[in-house]
Structure 1
Amino acid sequence: MIVVMKQSATEENIQYIIQKLHSLGLDAHLSRGESITIIGVVGDKAKFVSENPQLMEGVEKLVHISESYKVANIKFHPEPTIIDINGIKIGGDNFVIMAGPCAIESYDQLMASAIAAKNAGAQILRGGAYKPRTSPYSFQGLEEEGLRYMKEIKKQTGLATITEVTSCKAAEIAVNYVDILQIGARNMQNFELLKEVGKTKLPILLKRGLSATIDEWLNAAEYIMSEGNENVILCERGIRTYETSTRNTLDISAIPVLRSKTHLPIIVDPSHASGVRDYIAPLSRAAVAVGADGLEIEVHPNPSMAMSDGSQSLNPEDFKKLCDELKPYIQLVGRKF
C-alpha cells in the first residue's frame, strides 16, 4: 500500500503518518517527487487501514499494490533511483560502462584490462575473483588474492570496482575491497546470499537468472532491499531459450518492461547475452537505444589466452572502438557519458 499525500500537505502531516506507521510496527518508505510525495507501507497494512488513514490530515488517497515486490516497485518510488559511487552516477540521465575480464588471472592482466577500460572511457572495472563455473574442474578464480589486486589497481587508476560474490563468506570478504557486489545469474534466487548482501552498505548488481521471469527477478531484488540496502542495480544478461547460435538470448524487451515496473537502474551485459564477441557491438547499440542505464562488457588484454570466456571478450583496441562508436548513440538518447 502507498499513501499519496496532498500537494498542500505539510512536513508535520508527513511525519505524523510516518510516526503512526512506526507505532503500528510497520515500515515507512518516504519518496518525494517534484509534484508528489508518497509513503510506502510495508507490513500488515490492515493495522493501518483500521486507523482510517484516508481521514488523516494531508492524505489524498490510499493505493493498494497487488505486486508481491514493494520497495522495488515504481509505485513506491516514482522517481528513478540514482546510485552514486564516489561521484559515478548510475541511473537517471547518466550512462555508465563497466569493463574488465571475466576472471582475474594475475595482477598484470588486471592492470592491463583496467588501463584499457579507462582509456576507452569506462568508469568501473569489473573482475571475477570468485568464479561459479559449470564444470568443477574449470578455473574457479583467485578469490581474496584477486580482490587485493582490485583494491590496489583502484588506487592507481581511480576506477570504481565490481566483483561477483558466490557465498556469504565471499561477500563478507569482498566488502573490504570493492565498491559494488555482483550477484550472478546462478545465484539470483540464493535467498540467504541476497539477505546477506542486503545487510551491507555497498551497491548490489543483481543479474537476471537464466530462466527467471521479470517478476521473479524483482522479487529477488526485494530480498536485498528488505534488509535495508536499497542500492540495487538490475542487469539483463540474456535468458535461456531454444536458440543455440548464441550463448543466451538477450531479452531487449526487459528494459522497457522494467521501466514500467521499477525505479531501479538497469544495466545490460551483451557479453554473456551473446557469448560471441562479434555480436557485442550491435547488442550494445540496441541497449542504448532501448533505454538501458549502462553496459557491462568483458575486456581482456589477450582474449585468446583468457582462462574464462575468451570468446566473448573484447581486446583493448576493439573495446576502445566500441566506446567511441557508442558516444553519439548515448548523446542522441539524452544521456551523459
Structure 2
Amino acid sequence: MIVVIKSQTPASEIERIIQELSQYSATIEKVIGKDKVVIGLVGDTSVISPEHVQQISPFIEQVVRVKQPFKRVSLEYRYGEPSEVVVPTPNGPVTFGQNHPLIVVAGPCSVENEEMIVETAQVVKATGAQFLRGGAYKPRSSPYAFQGHGESALSLLATAREVTGLGIITEVMDTADLDKVAEVADVVQIGARNMQNFSLLKKAGATGKPILLKRGLSATIEEWLMAAEYILAAGNPNVILCERGIRSFDKQYTRNVLDLSVVPVLRGLTHLPIMIDPSHATGYSKFVPTMAKAAIAAGTDSLMIEVHPNPSKALSDGPQSLTPPDFVELMQELASLAQFFGRGTKSAFTTTPFATKTLSTVGV
C-alpha cells in the first residue's frame, strides 16, 4: 500500500502522518520523488482500510494498494515515477535512469593480466564510456574452464580505475567474497546463475552498494523482479536490471535469445533502470552492434558491451568480444542514435584525439 502526499505538504505534517501510520504492523518507508512524497507500507496490509488512512490528514492525496507481488520494485510504489541510480566514480557521479543519457559499460569478460585490463580500460575511457567491466570471479559451466584470477584480479581492476577514472563493475559469486568485491566495485554485479541466490541477494543489498542484477538463464520477468525485491527489502533501492539473453532451443546461430521486448514490459512494471547486454545474449561479436542499436531504439538506459584487445586469445568469451577498433566504430554510431532518441550527451561516445592516440599507444 502507498500513501501519496500532496505537493508542498509541510515536513512536519508528513512526519505526523508517518507517526499515525506506525500504529499498523507494517514497515513504513518514505520515498521522496521529484514532485511528490510517497509513504509505503510493506507487509500484511490487507486489514488496513484505505478509507481510514485517507482520513488521517487532508494532505493525503490518494491511498493505493500495490497489486503486484513485487512491492518496492513496482512502478506503483513510486506512483509511476522512474527511479535513478547515482554511482560515484573517480570521474564524477554517473546516473542510470530513464530520464538520463545512455550509459555504456565495456570491457573484457575476465581480467587476465594488468597490461590487458589497463589497455582495454584506456580504450573504453577514450570512447566516452563511463564504466569498465571485468570478471575477477567467473561462473563457468565447466569446472575445467578458466574461473578468473579472483582477489588478485580485483587489485588489477583497482589499478585500471586509478589510471582511467572509470567506474568498476564486477561480479560477486559467493557471500564470502562480497566484502572484497564491494571494496573495489562501484557497482556489484550479481550474475544470471546467481539471480535466485537469495542469501547473496540479501547480503549484497545490505552493503548499500549499487547492484547490477542480471536476468537468470530461464527466469521469467516476475522471478527476476522478485529477486530485485530481495535487494530492495534489504534496504538498498539502487538496483539496475540487466537483460543478457534467455535460454532457448536454438543454439546453432546465437548463444541466447535477446529479449528486447523486456524493455517496454519493464517500463510498465517497475521504476528501476534497465541495461541490455547484447554480447552475452548473441554470443557473437558480429551481432553485437545491431542489437546494441536495437536496444537503444527500444529504450534501454544502458548497454554492457564486451571488448578485448585480442579476442582470439581471450581466456573466456572471446567470440562475443569486440576488438578496440570495432568498439570505437560502434561508439561513434551509437552517439548519433542516442542523440536521435534523446539519450545523448555532448561529451559521450566520441572518438577524441585522445582516443586515436590511445589506440595507437596500445598497438591497435
Q: What TM-score, normalized by structure 2, do the two folds share?
A: 0.89
Greater Cα shift, 274-283 or 38-47 = 38-47
Question: Within 5 A, what are the aligned runs for 1:14-163?
Answer: 14-46=14-46, 48-49=48-49, 52-57=52-57, 58-77=59-78, 78-86=80-88, 87-91=93-97, 92-163=99-170
User: How many Å apart are 1:12 and its aligned residue?
Assistant: 2.9
* Structure 2 runs not aligned, ≥5 long: 349-364
1:247 and 2:249 are equivalent in the alignment = no
Aligned residue type for 2:109 = C
Mapped partners of 1:316, 1:166: distance in 2: 28
Mapped partners of 1:209, 1:35: distance in 2: 35
CA offset digits 1:18-51 (Å, max 9, x no partner): 2233453432232344544322111222464399
Q: Which residue number corresponds to residue 266 of structure 2? A: 258
Mapped partners of 1:46, 1:16: distance in 2: 23
User: How many Å apart are 1:3 and its aligned residue?
Assistant: 1.2
Q: Which residue number corresponds to residue 270 of structure 1? A: 278
Mapped partners of 1:95, 1:255: distance in 2: 14
Mapped partners of 2:32, 2:166: distance in 1: 32
1:183 and 2:179 are equivalent in the alignment = no
Q: Note closer, same or farther for the CA distance 1:330–1:50 as it changes in structure 2 (3 Å cut).
A: closer
1:285 and 2:287 are equivalent in the alignment = no
8 Å contact from structure 1 (residues 103, 308) kept in 2: yes
8 Å contact from structure 1 (residues 270, 280) kept in 2: yes
Question: Within 5 A, what are the aligned runs for 1:164-313?
Answer: 164-244=171-251, 245-313=253-321
User: How many Å apart are 1:172 and its aligned residue?
Assistant: 2.0
User: How many Å apart are 1:82 and its aligned residue?
Assistant: 1.6
Q: Note closer, same or farther for the CA distance 1:96–1:81 as it changes in structure 2 (3 Å cut).
A: same
Root mean square deviation, CA, Å: 1.6
Mapped partners of 1:64, 1:192: distance in 2: 29
User: How many Å apart are 1:60 and its aligned residue?
Assistant: 2.8
Aligned residue type for 1:70 = K
* Structure 1 runs not aligned, ≥5 long: none
Mapped partners of 1:51, 1:334: distance in 2: 42
CA offset digits 1:186-217 (Å, max 9, x no partner): 11011111011011121000000111111111
8 Å contact from structure 2 (residues 112, 149) kept in 1: yes
User: How many Å apart are 1:54 and its aligned residue?
Assistant: 1.6
8 Å contact from structure 2 (residues 118, 163) kept in 1: no
Aligned residue type for 2:333 = E
Aligned residue type for 1:233 = I
User: How many Å apart are 1:303 and its aligned residue?
Assistant: 0.3
Mapped partners of 1:265, 1:34: distance in 2: 16
Q: Which residue number corresponds to residue 316 of structure 1? A: 324
The percent of aligned pairs where both chains have the same amino acid is 47
User: How many Å apart are 1:100 and its aligned residue?
Assistant: 0.6
CA offset digits 1:266-291 (Å, max 9, x no partner): 00000001001000000000011111
Aligned residue type for 1:124 = F
Aligned residue type for 1:44 = D
8 Å contact from structure 1 (residues 162, 182) kept in 2: yes
Aligned residue type for 1:3 = V
User: What SS class does the counterpart of residue 75 from structure 1 fall into?
Assistant: helix
User: What SS class does the counterpart of residue 45 from structure 1 fall into?
Assistant: coil
Mapped partners of 1:10, 1:205: distance in 2: 36
8 Å contact from structure 1 (residues 21, 48) kept in 2: no
Mapped partners of 1:50, 1:74: distance in 2: 19
CA offset digits 1:70-108 (Å, max 9, x no partner): 111111113222212221111122211111110111111
User: How many Å apart are 1:61 and its aligned residue?
Assistant: 2.7
